[in-house]
């Protein structure tokens, strides 16, 4: 029963992230004088709807998306308040507002998490464990991590992420020592086995620093940027083949991950469960914002690209051709969502995704 409840909470929270994205489009459209015909949360058949002013608000059956339907967004309209009849810069703002809202929500979640800490973890080595591989390689207490396998380290989240991706048998480390950068190549870490996988074993401790108002603000932005970098690194990994389809999660997988994070957190108490959920939500909302800004058809980034071309040319590309591009992109996007959702379900029932 608890598992079902946590999955439902995960679905609800994922829907909240979608709502924030679409609300970004909605609020900037209203502020720009664009007529909004419908604001919907979810996709598919309507569960219920109501009208207020010129806009219909609806809740739909499948919690895998949402939309803000603006007059003249995908077709010609004579209405002076239609999306297509507004200046190009106003349309640009509306198009990117969803992703920006996701970034703002991500900042908020990170701020909530960091506000609970009394001190912040640094990336400077304090001491080593017994039989430490990094100490044997030549690292010393006081060394500050600069990069791991070329991945720049700015905070402890970067440090954890880089180490989680590293091959324990060969890690390239760059540290700062006394104002100089020192490189240690092909460092071989000790390993631990977890769920049948060989993972790198941490063999050092780092210093902590006192939290101040300004260090708090700096950390909020720094850690949010780290989440963005994690997303981009993961996307590049998918393109280059470092990660496979088995590593990709969609709405169902995201809901499962949130519920699992909550379940693990419940072992330490309700507060830990909530914090795990907030961290997962921060990663997902930043992910959604970044992916939507990619210059691909049917995504916000694709629409922004067409608007940018219009701004440069001084006239729009033929709506017919743009419509074809977005329609083709939408079909591919739906196909990808179906594949990823199927992959999520296979992972849930078999423990492995497609190609796992």
Residues designated catalytic: 22
- What count of Cα atoms within 13 Å lies in the side-chain half-sphere of residue 138? 12
Rounded CA-CA distance 352/335 in Å is 21
Rounded CA-CA distance 212/286 in Å is 25
Rounded CA-CA distance 288/21 in Å is 8
Rounded CA-CA distance 123/144 in Å is 6
Tokens of 178: 């006394």
Cβ pair 228, 294 in contact under 8 A = no
Rounded CA-CA distance 208/211 in Å is 9
Q: How many residues does the chain have?
A: 356
**Quick one: which of 190, 41, 55, 44 has its CA closest to 128?**
190
Rounded CA-CA distance 334/341 in Å is 10
How big is the chain by its Cα radius of gyration, in Å?
A: 23
User: Measured on CA atoms in the order 260, 261, 265, 270, is the torsion positive or negative?
Assistant: negative
Q: Output DSSP code: residue 44.
A: E
């Amino acid at each position: 029963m608890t598992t079902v409840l946590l999955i439902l909470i995960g679905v609800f929270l994922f829907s909240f992230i979608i709502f924030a994205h679409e609300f970004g489009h909605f609020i900037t459209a209203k502020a720009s004088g664009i007529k909004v015909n419908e604001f919907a949360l979810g996709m598919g058949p309507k569960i219920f709807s109501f009208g207020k002013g010129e806009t219909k608000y609806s809740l739909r059956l499948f919690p895998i998306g949402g939309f803000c339907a603006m007059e003249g967004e995908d077709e010609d309209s004579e209405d002076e308040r239609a999306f297509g009849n507004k200046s190009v810069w106003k349309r640009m703002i509306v198009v990117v507002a969803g992703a920006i809202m996701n970034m703002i929500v991500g900042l908020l979640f990170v701020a909530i998490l960091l506000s609970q800490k009394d001190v912040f973890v640094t990336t400077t080595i304090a001491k080593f464990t017994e039989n430490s591989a990094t100490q044997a390689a030549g690292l010393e207490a006081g060394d500050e991590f600069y990069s791991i396998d070329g991945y720049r380290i700015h905070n402890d989240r970067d440090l954890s992420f880089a180490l989680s991706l590293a091959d324990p048998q060969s890690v390239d480390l760059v540290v700062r020592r006394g104002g100089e950068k020192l490189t240690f190549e092909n460092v071989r870490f000790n390993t631990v086995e977890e769920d049948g996988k060989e993972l790198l074993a941490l063999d050092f401790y780092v210093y902590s620093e006192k939290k101040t108002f300004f260090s708090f603000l700096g950390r909020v932005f720094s850690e949010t940027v780290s989440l963005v970098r994690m997303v981009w690194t993961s996307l590049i990994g998918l393109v280059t083949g470092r990660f496979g389809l088995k590593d990709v999660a969609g709405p169902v997988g995201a809901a499962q991950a949130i519920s699992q994070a909550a379940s693990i957190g419940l072992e330490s108490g309700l507060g830990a469960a909530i914090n795990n959920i907030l961290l997962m939500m921060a990663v997902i909302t930043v992910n959604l914002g970044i992916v939507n800004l990619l210059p691909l058809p049917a995504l916000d980034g694709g629409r922004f690209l067409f608007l940018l071309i219009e701004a440069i040319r001084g006239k729009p590309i033929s709506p017919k051709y743009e419509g074809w591009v977005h329609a083709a992109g939408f079909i591919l996007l739906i196909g990808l969502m179906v594949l990823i959702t199927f992959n999520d379900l296979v992972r849930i029932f078999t423990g492995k995704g497609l190609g796992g």
